[in-house]
Amino acid sequence: MIRIRVAPGSFGGFRKKNWWQPTQKEWAPILLQENRALWPSEADPTTNRAWENLSARYRAWKIAHVGNLPILMYSGRMLSSAEVKPYQSGFSVKSTPYGKYHQFGTSRMASRPWMGLPQTAMEHLPGIAWKHILPK
């Protein structure tokens, strides 16, 4: 499980009771959609930094066994099964058990963050938040 946390006070200290929970609920599917759209760019969705290439040995194995697919693509289950849900003051991402290893890396594998806070998703946040801060 991957957790994205939004720190208290991240929004200039504005505190109107009960605006964040409905904002989270409405924003969660947008976060997922924007992350999925960025997957083919093979870059960290938050920083836009390109993922490290596969090792030559693994790349050769992968081409021989499944073809010349993108870096993290093998079965497609990790991204297709991903869910983003509000969790406390942030979000949790549920996916395959190995999704966290790609996100954070291991001692033998470079991290290749596939979920984050992309700029395209951030652009939706003010409009959603203000709807809940100043309801009609």
* Complete DSSP assignment for 60-110: HHHHHHH-S--TT-SSSHHHHT-EEEEETTEEEEE--TTHHHHHH--SSS-
CB within 8 Å of 22: residues ≥ 6 apart: 132
State which residues form the domain around 91: 2-133
Structural domains of the chain, count: 1
Which pTM was predicted?
A: 0.76
Confidence of residue 3 (pLDDT cuts 50, 70, 90): low
pLDDT digits (tens, 9 = 90+) for 69-120: 777 766 678 878 899 999 888 899 999 898 899 899 999 889 999 999 999 9
